[in-house]
């Protein structure tokens, strides 16, 4: 028994798809709503795919299976129970799939693949094949490629699995306007009206601005030369330090409750590199019993650096290296 799939253009329900819309965007959601998906065989993998596709919100899904439930199915197909043994797997799963999402039309077909015509397959925009023979896969894949239908093959064998995806002669359209990589920004404020204010990309501080920030939480600064000239290696400068590094340092102060004193910043004389002092990612702080204990107990010891400095890594990815008289901290993760 096969049910014809009607076409219908429904609006996106924001109550149901709120989170998904923010992740995928409305354009992707609208394209998703246009898809008619055929999933062949309702075993453990097939039903997991069907469940996820229904929840995602496609237009319709057809679950096609000629197999009846056996004892082995009960170990992998969570919609089947002992009372379903001997009954068609897809038909037994139909109502449970329908209950997941009222907006998705869920149908069942008990046709064998050998009885399916090319016209039958052409009504779908995506065909997912599981538990099929190689000849069946090749036949359906060739038909999908000719008709520009998305073809997906997937199977699981114990702890092993395989997957093949063929999006046809016109695989996909790129909607990216400029091809640039997405940028990471810090949100400074969200107004009651929903206006988002973000920090400047690649944000850095002047020495004076950074000093104001760290002093606001009680962090001190020390310089062997008593100066803040970035070009003088005897000075301690925070000029062009990363805004995120200052945020992370303030977080370290408040979370540890320890006295912190900055002894090294962006001044010349440090080693170079992408995540270096000169590029504003590293800050040195003096050793003391409180912060020593906090860092070594709170973060994971990952071994010694090439120069012998013991290294500790926070779950965020920030790195703490215990040098002779100070902690050399690399702030690469956002705080």
Identify the band that residue 303 occupies on the pLDDT scale cut at 50, 70 and 90: very high
Neighbours of 35 (CB within 10 A): 17
Q: Is the pLDDT of residue 258 over 80?
A: yes
Residue 171's pLDDT is: 57
DSSP letters for 122-184:
TT-SEEEE-S--HHHHHHHHHHHHHTT-EEEEEEEETTEEEEEEE--SS------SS-PPP--
Point out the least confidently predicted range of 18-27, 99-108, 240-249: 18-27
Query: Strands 60-64 and 105-109: what pairing?
Result: parallel
Residue 274's pLDDT is: 87
The phi-psi region of residue 269 (left if phi > 0; otherwise alpha if psi is between -120 and 50; otherwise beta) is left
pTM greater than 0.75 (yes/no): no
Q: What is the token pair recorded at 259? A: 């006295």
Mean confidence (pLDDT) of the chain = 88
Contact of 260 with 249, CB cutoff 8 Å: yes
Q: Is the pLDDT of residue 189 over 50?
A: yes
Superfamily of domain 17-166: NAD(P)-binding Rossmann-like Domain (3.40.50.720)
The residue among 98 and 194 whose pLDDT is bigger is: 98
Indicate if the alpha-carbon torsion angle 189, 195, 197, 198 is positive or negative: positive
The phi-psi region of residue 136 (left if phi > 0; otherwise alpha if psi is between -120 and 50; otherwise beta) is alpha
Summarised one tens digit per residue, pLDDT across range 32-89 is 889 999 999 999 999 999 999 999 999 999 999 999 999 999 999 999 999 999 999 9
Under DSSP, the state recorded for 215 is H
Residue 30's pLDDT is: 86
Summarised one tens digit per residue, pLDDT across range 117-158 is 999 999 999 999 999 999 999 999 999 999 999 999 999 998
Residue 186's pLDDT is: 58
Q: Cα–Cα distances in Å, from 214 out to 229, 230, 274?
A: 18, 18, 24
- Measured in whole angstroms, the distance separating CA 293 from the mean position of its chain's CA atoms is 34
Between CA 59 and CA 65, with CA 62 as vertex, the angle to 5 degrees is 165
Identify the band that residue 190 occupies on the pLDDT scale cut at 50, 70 and 90: confident
Query: Strands 160-166 and 187-190: what pairing?
Result: unpaired
Could you tell me the residue ranges of all domains in the chain?
17-166, 198-330
Residue 9's pLDDT is: 44
Identify the band that residue 175 occupies on the pLDDT scale cut at 50, 70 and 90: low
């Amino acid at each position: 028994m096969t049910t014809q799939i009607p076409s219908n253009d429904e609006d996106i329900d924001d109550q149901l798809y709120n989170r998904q819309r923010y992740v995928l965007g409305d354009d992707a959601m609208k394209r998703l709503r246009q898809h008619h998906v055929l999933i062949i065989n309702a075993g453990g993998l097939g039903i997991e795919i069907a469940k996820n596709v229904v929840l995602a919100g496609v237009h319709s899904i057809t679950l096609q299976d000629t197999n009846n439930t056996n004892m082995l199915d009960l170990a992998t197909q969570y919609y089947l129970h002992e009372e379903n043994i001997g009954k068609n797997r897809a038909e037994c799963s139909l109502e449970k799939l329908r209950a997941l999402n009222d907006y998705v039309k869920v149908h069942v077909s008990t046709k064998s693949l050998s009885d399916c015509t090319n016209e039958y397959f052409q009504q779908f925009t995506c065909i997912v094949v599981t538990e099929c023979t190689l000849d069946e896969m090749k036949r359906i894949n060739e038909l999908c490629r000719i008709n520009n239908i998305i073809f997906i093959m997937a199977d699981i064998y114990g702890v092993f699995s395989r997957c093949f995806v063929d999006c046809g002669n016109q695989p996909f359209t790129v909607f990216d306007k400029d091809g640039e990589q997405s940028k990471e920004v810090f949100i400074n404020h969200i107004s009651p009206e929903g206006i988002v204010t973000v920090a400047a990309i690649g944000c850095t501080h002047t020495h004076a601005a950074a000093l104001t920030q760290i002093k606001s939480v009680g962090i001190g600064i020390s310089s062997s030369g008593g100066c803040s000239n970035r070009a003088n290696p005897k000075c301690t400068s925070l000029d062009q330090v990363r805004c995120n590094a200052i945020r992370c340092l303030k977080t370290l102060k408040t979370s540890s409750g320890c006295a912190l004193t900055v002894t090294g910043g962006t001044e010349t004389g440090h080693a170079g590199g992408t995540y270096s002092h000169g590029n504003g990612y590293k800050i040195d702080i003096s050793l003391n019993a409180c912060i020593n204990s906090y860092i070594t107990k709170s973060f994971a010891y990952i071994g010694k650096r090439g120069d012998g400095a013991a290294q500790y890594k926070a779950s965020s990815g920030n790195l703490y290296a215990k040098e002779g008289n100070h902690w050399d901290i690399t702030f690469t993760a956002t705080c």
